[in-house]
Amino acid sequence: MNNDYVNESAILTVENLSKSFGGVKAVNSLSFSVAQNNIHAIIGPNGAGKSTLFNLITGVISPDEGKIQLVNQDITSLRPDKIAAQGVSRTFQNIRLFPDMTVFETVLIGTYLLTGGKLLPAIFRTKNFRNNEYSAKKLIEEILHFVGLWDMRHEYAARLSYGNQRRVEIARALATNPRLLLLDEPTAGMNQKETKELMELFSQVNDQGITILIIAHDMHLVNALSNQITVINFGEKLVEGPPEVIQSHPAVLEAYMGRAEMNA
């Protein structure tokens, strides 16, 4: 590994990762690491390969080349459920909620790793299943209080305001007990008040010892929250560093961001 992206305290290490679709390289020899307990941002223009990168990390698609390591374990070839079991969870750019499920039921889905997700114990209500189910429901109660949705627990999740639907998604991700949380454009489409409230929630999540890897176009959010920023373009790493370096980096300004947007 090259010393420019290896971090001994890294929770996630991406090494020479590549993925092509029909001859187009969506991710091209990308390498970076995410330090434990940091908030690390991935930024870049539309089509830069950001969501493809998240799909690779979470096992939705497999890389053509390269390696993904979570702490000391190679997760490159694992299925999404196995990667989730290792403590990696995510939200999506487009909210994915079931229209006929309450907030509590929706978030409870995230505890399948705790309850085991096995059919026979659920059918026969074994003692172990009941104990796990009780623990899962107590966990959901704590999470809904934490994200500010406890009073809405009986409402249909898909009928909440846009901002609260985002909170439901984040709560469901937290229910998997992650150590690494991937957030894909979590404040897209939000007003200033909703964005500020979610930024405060992200800081609180990070304070709980959960490392966050976030894709965002909102440079105010990125500069305010992140410890480290990786800039990608055409699937390749353009530059990397702390916000104060990135927002004034000539290559970034010239390539695609624009001075006004970077300093917004």
Claim to verify: residue 72 and residue 200 sit in the same structural domain:
yes
Tell whether 79 and 189 lie within a shared domain. yes
User: For the whole prediction, is pTM greater than 0.95?
Assistant: no
Alpha-helical regions (H) of 6-161:
50-57, 80-85, 103-108, 112-115, 119-124, 127-147
Same domain, residue pair 171 and 189: no
Query: CA-CA distance, 107 to 168, in Å (whole number)?
Result: 7
Query: Both 127 and 62 in a single domain?
Result: no
Q: Name the one residue in this structure whose structure tokens are 């500069």.
A: 223
Same domain membership, residue 3 and residue 81:
yes
State the residue range of the domain holding 158.
95-177
Q: CB of 113 within 8 A of CB of 84?
A: yes
Q: What does the H/E/C string look like for 173-222?
A: HHCCCCCEEEEECCCCCCCHHHHHHHHHHHHHHHHCCCEEEEECCCHHHH
Average pLDDT for 237-252: 87
- Residues 210, 81 share a domain: yes
- Whether the CB-CB separation of 177 and 94 falls below 8 Å is answered with no
Lowest mean pLDDT among 95-109, 147-161, 200-214: 95-109
Q: Which of 177, 206, 236 is the last residue of a domain?
A: 177
Q: What CATH number should be reported for the domain holding residue 162?
A: 3.40.50.300
Measuring CA to CA, which residue among 97, 96, 88 is closest to residue 56? Answer: 88
- Six-digit token string for 248: 């004034």
The whole-number average pLDDT for the span 37-62 is 94
pLDDT digits (tens, 9 = 90+) for 71-121: 989 999 899 989 999 999 999 888 888 889 999 999 998 887 655 555 445
Of the candidates 123, 148, 177, which is a domain's last residue?
Answer: 177
